[in-house]
A and B are shown apart, each in its own frame.
Chain A
Amino acid sequence: GNSVTQMEGPVTLSEEAFLTINCTYTATGYPSLFWYVQYPGEGLQLLLKATKADDKGSNKGFEATYRKETTSFHLEKGSVQVSDSAVYFCAVNNTNAGKSTFGDGTTLTVKP
Chain B
Amino acid sequence: ETGVTQSPTHLIKTRGQQVTLRCSSQSGHNTVSWYQQALGQGPQFIFQYYREEENGRGNFPPRFSGLQFPNYSSELNVNALELDDSALYLCASSFDLFEREQYFGPGTRLTVT
Q: Do A and B bind each other?
A: yes
Contact pick for B56, options A41, A46, A99, CB 8 Å: A99
Pair B42/A97 contact, Cβ less than 8 Å: no
A36 to B102, CA, bound (A): 11
Given contacts A43-B107, A96-B94, A96-B99, 13 further A-B contacts (CB under 8 A): A32-B100, A43-B90, A45-B104, A46-B102, A89-B42, A89-B43, A91-B42, A93-B100, A96-B31, A97-B102, A100-B43, A102-B43, A103-B42
CB pair B90–A99 under 8 Å, yes or no, is no
Q: Which residue of A lies closest to B42 (CB)?
A: A102
A77 CB within 8 Å of chain B: no
- Once the chains are docked, how many angstroms separate the CA of A10 from the CA of B41? 13
Q: Is B78 an interface residue (CB 8 A)?
A: no
B108 to chain A, nearest CB (A): 10
Q: Name 6 interchain pairs, CB-CB below 8 A, sorted by A.
A: A46-B103, A89-B43, A97-B33, A97-B101, A98-B31, A98-B32
Q: In the complex, A36→B37 CA distance in Å?
A: 14
Interface size on B, residues (CB 8 A): 27
Q: Give per-residue flags for B1-16: 1 if the beta carbon is below 8 A from chain A beta carbons, else 0.
A: 0001010000000000
Cβ-defined partner of A98 (8 Å) among B40, B41, B44, B92: B92
Contact between A96 and B104, CB atoms less than 8 A apart:
no
Q: Taking the nearest CB of chain B, how far is it from the CB of A41, in angstroms?
A: 8
User: Is A84 in the interface zone, CB < 8 Å from B?
Assistant: no
